[in-house]
Structure 1
Amino acid sequence: MSALMSLTKLLTRDTLQEITPENLEATVRRSSRNGLAPKRLQYSPEHETPKKKRKTKAVAENGSQNKQPKDEEDAENSDVEHAPEGYGRLSAYELERLENIRQNQAFLSSINLFQATEEFKQLTRPKPSQRGLTRAHAAVKEVVPPRKSLRLQKKEAEVLELPPEPRGTLIYEQSSPAKKPSGPLPMDPVNVEEGSKLPPQLLELCSEDVKEDKKIQLDLKGYRSSLKNMKVNEDKVAKVVKDRIFSATFHPCTSSLLLAAGDKWGKVGLWKLGGDWGDDGVLLFEPHTRPVGCMAFSKSHPTQLLSLSYDGSLRCMDVEKAVFDDVYDIEDGLKTFDFMSHDCSTLVVGNWYGEVAIVDRRTPGNSHESLHTLDPKTLRCVNVHPLQKEYFVVAESKIYDTSTLTTKSPLLTTIRHDMQTGRWLTKLSAVWDPKQEDCFVVGSMMKPRRVQVFHESGQLQHSFMDSENLSTVLSVTAFHPTRNALLGGNASGRLHVFSD
């Protein structure tokens, strides 16, 4: 036991002697980072950095190591080196890394890679069409002198007195502009010089005699083939109204494509593809002050376009008279309408409160003949039976079979489709193709952006897509009554036309 304690004391004494401050520096092992250096990508042989030499110990033939002076050995094995000014004390590895980054950036700059990358991004990003209405020039801001603190100028602050409290009833201004006055409004375009008359070609085009040929409904294979031939290009996209499109339709003429659109703030735009009047064939009018929720050309009088607005007004744009006539007027809240007679003289009009009104245009004034209350939750649109005009249906969603007009229509099918447009996009609406009565078109929220055509059974027939000319959601869609043409309107006031 005593021998073991003596050996322990001896080992402790020897150990303490070895780690005294005098020989502490000699006993600490320093890292020399002798491991393999990481591989680095060199972009150019002209900027190649010198490889770091691996430190090895020279061994003599007799096996003894060549000793170096202490200062040189410490300098070689030390991790910390004196860095250039501004870098502080960095290790050799960090200095080498910074030098590689600097040389790589210099090489990329010499070949203009950064500039080419930005130019490529600009080229690949689709730009909106510049055809149609031009953007208004921004108002020049008034240059005012900089504001200075009275405290820093050692001046006393001015004493301001509050104005006296108003007496009586306070009248708050409405957030939307005032409603247009009742009575006929002149049909004066706002995007042409003041006092300019309507182009005579517009009246000629609207007065075109449209002969309704007997409809020949294609089989689905032939119908899909006709859809594939309909394309869009730069000339078929134009800004027709200033704000979000709420409704749009085709004129029934066939010699040219004439379209109409209504926007969020009551403006109505007419656009003739390839036209030379207005802005690239666009004429803009202001008959309403709130969203134009529904519009349609009269089939019996093609020079008349009826437009309905949320502000409570239903007007008739008569190109022959060059006025917007009053048809029906309430305080506010009109939603939708449809023609109830073949001569388009009788209308069924629905409002936001679940009521439908029967309006006869032949009766003097702008009131209804009768008013009927329905369920407000289902009144999203009204549609009159194409043959039996005394019947109409109101609907919110899905597809129903109304051929028998029973109290409860049987459900044909349900199609899974994303309808969540949010508050900044117009609600998606499905519209039947008048040339193919068992198929309909609807916008889509899918990316890449598209417009889809479905059969009544729910089978997808075709998706209209174009990476260069279609990059937004087309909420409002409609087919031409006789030609192979489809329109789509977006939230920026632009119309897209797919045609053969």
Structure 2
Amino acid sequence: MAAESSTEERGELSPRSQQQMQERTPPPPAAPPPAPQAAPRRSPQLRVLLTPLPAPGRRLPQKRLLGAYDEAAGGDGKRRRAERSSPEHEDGGSDGDSDGMEAGQDGSPPLSAYERKRLKNISENAKFFAALKLHESAARLHEILAKGPSHVAKRAKPRKAEGGTVQRRSMRLQRMQPPEVPQVEAPAEEEQEEHVPAGPLPMATGGQEEKSETALLGTWLQLSEMKNNNTEKRTCDMARYQAALSSMLLREDSIRKVVSSRVRSVAIHPTESAVLVAAGDKSGHVGLWDVSRTAEEGAHVFTPHNFSVNCMHFSPSHPAQLLSLSHDSLRCGDVSRAVFDEIYRTEDSLSSFDFLEDGACTAIVGLWDGTVAVVDRRTPGTSPELSADIGFKMTRTVDVHPVDKQYFLAAGSVDVRVYDVRWLRRSGNQAVSTLHGHTKSVASAYFSPSSGRRVVTVCADDKLRVYDTSSLSATSALLCTVRHNNNTGRWLTRFRAVWDPKQEQCFVVGSMARPRQIEVFQDTGLLLHAFCSPELLGSVCSINAFHPTRNILVGGNSSGRLHVFME
């Protein structure tokens, strides 16, 4: 007892007291068994069902959030939904986030808390967008687009300070001629729109030295009055002819830029005393070059036409006259009167012409629309004597038979035919002979110069063809075909194969081969000679012509330059 008392005095329980306390104390409840580990679930997905605004007098069913809320609530989801639908929760507080129903003041059906919050969000969003003023900005943008792009004045470029670095520009970019070409005043853009007037034009170059021009015209007139010692065309055997071709060389002083743009036609004066060459370009210029003169006074340029000079011939009986044809007119440049007379003018485009007799008073003219016209220079006015439809889509070249002048050869898109000018009518014309075999457009067709027994054609199907026209039957026989690259493109004048007046069986044509060259073929298809000079000839000479009596060949390229091969 004394021991127990001493233990209680120290504030400690005796062992007996501790046993009594344990007996009176109920045992602690058993620990609950560990909960089974839940299987991994997919992330909850929120599905929202939106409700349109309720119409007056109609109560819409209550919408709620489904899916993620129920999955997050687990098994207690049904119990919580039941609690929300109990009367206690319906009559609960007026918290805006609760799901209770609230009746409208005008007797409309009550709105749920979700609908009230939705209407509140709509109102706040409307106020926010109104503060941004998007409707006003959209209206202003629509007005700007309706007015179109505004014309803003360009700011003037500041001038460079004096003494600064000067940028060098080539003569081509400055639209300047090379030094060896007589400086012609370049017309301004407004002046280029001016057209050459109809009617006679004075034979003046304009802007060039009058003294040198008078000298050139005087040389032309003097050469035209001279008669050749041997007027007959010389024909030799093939071996001597090839030797003569090999002796013709290109020298540095026999190259000259005569016209400003692409050469479309070339003519050689028939005199044997000098070499006088005429060239027509794409811009309506006609250039005359006396090859024997110096660079400063040897060439002069005239402007008798508005458009491309497609064809030129010196008159066979009057070499003082140079006839040139452009798209709109046929003119005769008479050096004895120093004037370009107008022979024929039309609104249709002209393509080529040839003389119907040696006096050069009448001519047959081809038009791009497929018709031909007969022109008589002795008739006053500029109208044709006859305009005939020969059934072509276009007429590129016309050529008169050298012996029987009533026949002429016309080359069209894919047609080459021989007609009799005596039987031409306005329509319904029948061909005397037809040259078949062309599959693409024909660039040219010409009779052989002395007898007319051969015709050479150039076609876009990369072939040169030679026909037998000795009998002028209904269908002319094809003698030979030569594979030849005629694909000149848009920047080069199309090739024209023309006969050598001195040699009945040979013709000359341009070439696309490298090194650049001019080719001479026999009517059998044999290549006789190729004129080339790697140092001096570096361009394609599309238009070529032989001198009628001398061993001289002239070739023109797309830059207005002439190359003269001579002995």
1:138: how far off?
A: 12
Alignment deviations for residues 170-214 of structure 1 (CA, whole Å, 9 cap, x no partner): xxx999845422211000013513698622233212322235533
Alpha-carbon distance in 1 for matches of 2:302, 2:553: 23
Query: Partners of 2:266 and 2:232 in 1: how far apart?
Result: 25
In structure 2, the CA distance between the partners of 1:286 and 1:378, relative to structure 1 (3 Å rule), is: closer
CA contact (8 A) 1:177 1:289 kept: no
* Structure-2 separation of matches of 1:137 and 1:345: 36
In structure 1, C-alpha distance between the alignment counterparts of 2:192 and 2:329, rounded to whole Å: 15
Letter of the structure 2 residue corresponding to residue 441 of structure 1: V
Aligned to 2:369: 353
Cross-structure match for 1:189 = 205
Larger radius of gyration: 2
- 1:297-316 alignment to 2 at 5 Å? 297-310=314-327, 312-316=328-332
1:467 match: 534
Equivalent of residue 269 in structure 1, options 287, 290, 299: 287
Post-superposition Cα deviations, 1:297-345, rounded to whole Å, max 9, x if no partner, equal: 00101100000002x1000000000000011110131000000011111
Instruction: Name the counterpart of 2:344.
Output: 328
Q: Taking structure 2 as the reference length, what is the TM-score of the superposition?
A: 0.57
What whole-Å deviation, never above 9, does each CA across 1:39-98 have from its counterpart, x for those lacking one? xxxxxxxxxxxxxxxxxxxxxxxxxxxxxxxxxxxxxxxxxxxxxxxxxxxxxxxxxxxx
Q: 1:285 aligns with which of 299, 302, 314?
A: 302
For residue 490 of structure 2, give the secondary structure of its aligned residue in structure 1. coil
1:395-414 Cα offsets, whole Å, 9 max, x none, are 23332222212222111111
Conservation of the 8 A alpha-carbon contact between 2:184 and 2:207: no
Query: Are the structure 2 counterparts of residues 237 and 484 from structure 1 closer, same or farther at C-alpha, using a change threshold of 3 Å?
Result: same
Q: 2:272 aligns with which of 254, 275, 282?
A: 254
Partner of 1:448: 515
Asked if 1:204 corresponds to 2:212, the answer is no
Does 1:379 pair with 2:446?
A: no
Separation in 2, partners of 1:379, 1:273: 34
Query: Alignment partner of 1:478: what SS?
Result: strand
- C-alpha offsets along residues 107-146 of structure 1, whole Å, 9 cap, x if unaligned? xxxxxxxxxxxxxxxxxxxxx986444476899xxxxxxx
Whole-Å separation in 1 of the counterparts to 2:191 and 2:497: 31
Give the corresponding residue for 2:544. 477
Task: Kindly provide the amino acid, as one letter, of the partner of residue 355 in structure 1.
Answer: T
Question: Is the partner of 1:488 in helix, strand or coil?
Answer: strand
1:375 deviates by: 3.3
Alignment partners' CA distance in 2, 1:363 and 1:238: 39
Distance 1:138 1:448 in 2: 36
Match of 1:214 in 2: 232
Matched position secondary structure for 1:233: strand
- How do 1:78-477 and structure 2 match up within 5 A? 131-134=180-183, 177-193=193-209, 198-199=214-215, 200-276=218-294, 279-310=296-327, 312-377=328-393, 379-395=395-411, 396=442, 397=457, 398-477=465-544
- Report the alpha carbon displacement of residue 456 of structure 1 after superposing the two structures with TM: 0.6
Give yes or no for contact 1:131–1:280 (8 Å, CA) kept in 2: no
* Residue matched to 1:62: none
Answer whether contact 1:240 1:493 (CA < 8 A) is retained.
Answer: yes
Q: Distance in 2 between matches of 1:129 and 1:428?
A: 27
AA aligned to 2:383 is S
1:308 partner letter: L
Match for 1:352: what amino acid? W
Is the partner of 2:483 in helix, strand or coil? coil
Shift of 1:380: 1.8
**TM-score, normalised on structure 1?**
0.64
Residues 262, 137 of structure 1: alpha-carbon distance in 2 compared, 3 angstrom cutoff: closer
SS at match of 1:420: coil
Post-superposition offset of 1:384: 0.4
CA-to-partner distance for each residue in 1:360-416, whole Å, 9 max, x for gaps?
Answer: 111111111111112334622111010110111112333222221222211111111
Paired with 2:362 and 2:523, the residues of 1 have a C-alpha distance of 29
State whether residues 220 and 320 of structure 2, in contact with CA within 8 Å, keep that contact through their aligned partners in structure 1. Answer: no
Aligned to 2:142: none
Q: 1:176 to 1:411 in 2, by over 3 A?
A: farther
Task: For 2:382 and 2:296, locate their aligned partners in 1 and report how far apart those are by CA, in whole Å.
Answer: 34
CA contact (8 A) 2:233 2:501 kept: no
Deviates more, 1:368-377 or 1:297-306: 368-377
In the TM superposition, 1:39-58 aligns within 5 A as: none
Secondary structure of the corresponding residue to residue 482 of structure 2: coil
- CA 301–320 in structure 1, closer or farther in 2 if over 3 Å, else same: same
Sort the Cα spacing of 1:248 and 1:380 in 2 relative to 1 into closer, same or farther, 3 A: same
The answer to whether the Cα contact below 8 Å between 2:367 and 2:394 also exists between their aligned partners in 1 is no
Question: Aligned partners of 1:210, 1:136: CA distance in 2, in Å?
Answer: 38
- Shift in CA distance, 130/400, structure 1 to aligned 2, threshold 3 Å: farther
Query: 1:430 offset after TM fit, Å?
Result: 0.5
With CA pairs under 8 Å and 6+ residues apart, which has the higher RCO, 1 or 2?
1
Do the aligned residues in 2 keep the contact of 1:132 with 1:280 (CA within 8 Å)?
Answer: no
Structure 2 unaligned segments of length 5 or more: list them: 1-176, 412-441, 443-456, 458-464
Change (3 A) 1:363 1:387: same
CA–CA separation in structure 1 for the residues paired with 2:305 and 2:187: 25
